[in-house]
């Protein structure tokens, strides 16, 4: 039989469902691209402005790039304040707050999901209600409490009020509800106690969501300006956002230096998010919050 006599399979034409899916996917990608551009434009403008000579930052019409690329703004910001100390303060406060928040919220969430005690639903409802309370409402009583405890101008005065986070308790409760109880029951049969089960079974199985909670907490603590600004007055105890604001107020409105401060403060967060973005996505997926 010749090759020309072999019957050819007709090419499949795309079905309407495939066309609709392709169009929907293209639209989704287009929307995502627009959101990425909208998010990157301010960041790109901040970086471009920080590399301009100061006299060209207010030139009209606005231009993306100056006549030369200079790092004078970064040098002046570095010379005007103790950036290294402020960065170390922010790192210490953020790490300690993250560790305490993860442990406290994980224990609270495990208690709500695995123990039955009187008033459990009411207490959990109060925790959820805390999500709707703006943090600014608690500033005055928290500051009065820190004054009474003698924690003003201390690291613990900055850390402790940021440890209890109702939203993180809710995320962990959603995850712990999906952990198979059979694993814990088998451990109980073998003689393990509640605390040992929590440490050796529940926490290892919860590493994705714990990583996501840790990254969220670290980022929010690093970016927190209002509370550290109120509770610290000693320059040696300031965090990076507070210290940079004091530097900016000392040299007035100089846009190149202000943008350089923004880039310096945001660079560590960009590194953290780049390193742990996979854990963040996995943590959100495992909590079941992505589709809600």
- The pLDDT tens digits along the chain (292 residues) read 555 555 555 555 554 444 455 777 788 888 888 888 887 888 888 888 878 777 767 777 777 777 777 777 787 777 776 778 888 898 999 999 999 999 999 998 888 888 888 888 888 888 888 888 888 888 888 899 899 988 888 899 999 998 988 888 888 888 888 878 887 778 788 777 788 888 888 888 888 888 888 888 888 898 888 889 888 888 888 888 888 777 665 555 677 777 887 788 778 777 877 777 776 666 566 554 444 4
Can you give the pLDDT at residue 289?
Answer: 47
Q: Kindly state whether residue 41 falls inside one of the protein's structural domains.
A: no
Residue 61 lies in a domain: no
Query: Does residue 4 sit within a domain?
Result: no
67 located within any domain: no
Domain of residue 281: give its range: 80-287
Nearest Cα to Cα of residue 138 among 220, 226, 213, 225: 226
Contact 166, 131 (CB under 8 A): yes
Taking each helix axis from N to C terminus, what angle separates 207-223 and 255-287, rounded to the nearest 10 degrees? 160
Rounded CA separation 292/290 (Å): 6
Indicate whether 55 belongs to any domain: no
- Peptide bond between residue 146 and the one before it cis (omega within 30 degrees of 0): no
State the total domains in the chain.
Answer: 1
Q: In this structure, are residues 216 and 241 in contact, taking their beta carbons and an 8 Å threshold?
A: no
User: Is residue 20, in this structure, part of any structural domain at all?
Assistant: no
pTM: 0.75
- The CATH number for 214's domain is 1.10.3720.10
Token pair belonging to 207? 């590493």
Look at residue 53 and tell me if it is in a domain: no
The answer as to whether 174 is a domain residue is: yes
């Amino acid at each position: 039989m010749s090759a020309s006599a072999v019957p050819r399979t007709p090419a499949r034409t795309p079905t309407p469902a495939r066309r609709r899916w392709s169009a929907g996917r293209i639209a989704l990608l287009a929307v995502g691209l627009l959101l990425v551009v909208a998010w990157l434009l301010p960041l790109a403008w901040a970086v471009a402005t920080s590399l301009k000579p100061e006299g060209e930052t207010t030139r009209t019409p606005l231009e993306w790039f100056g006549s030369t690329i200079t790092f004078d703004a970064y040098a002046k910001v570095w010379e005007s304040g103790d950036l290294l100390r402020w960065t170390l303060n922010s790192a210490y406060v953020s790490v300690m707050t993250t560790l305490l928040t993860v442990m406290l919220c994980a224990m609270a969430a495990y208690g709500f999901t695995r123990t039955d005690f009187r008033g459990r639903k009411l207490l959990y409802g109060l925790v959820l209600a805390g999500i709707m309370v703006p943090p600014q409402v608690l500033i005055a009583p928290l500051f009065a409490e820190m004054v009474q405890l003698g924690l003003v101008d201390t690291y613990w005065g900055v850390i402790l009020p940021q440890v209890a986070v109702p939203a993180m308790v809710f995320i962990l409760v959603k995850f712990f509800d999906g952990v198979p109880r059979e694993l814990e029951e088998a451990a109980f049969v073998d003689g393990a106690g509640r605390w040992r089960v929590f440490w050796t079974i529940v926490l290892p199985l919860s590493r994705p969501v714990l990583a996501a909670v840790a990254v969220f907490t670290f980022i929010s603590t690093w970016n927190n300006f209002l509370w550290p600004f109120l509770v610290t007055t000693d320059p040696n105890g300031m965090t990076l956002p507070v210290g940079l604001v004091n530097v900016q107020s000392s040299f007035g409105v100089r846009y190149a230096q202000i943008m350089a401060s923004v880039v310096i403060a945001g660079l560590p967060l960009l590194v953290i998010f780049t390193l742990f973005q996979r854990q963040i996505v996995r943590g959100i997926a495992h909590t079941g919050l992505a589709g809600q």
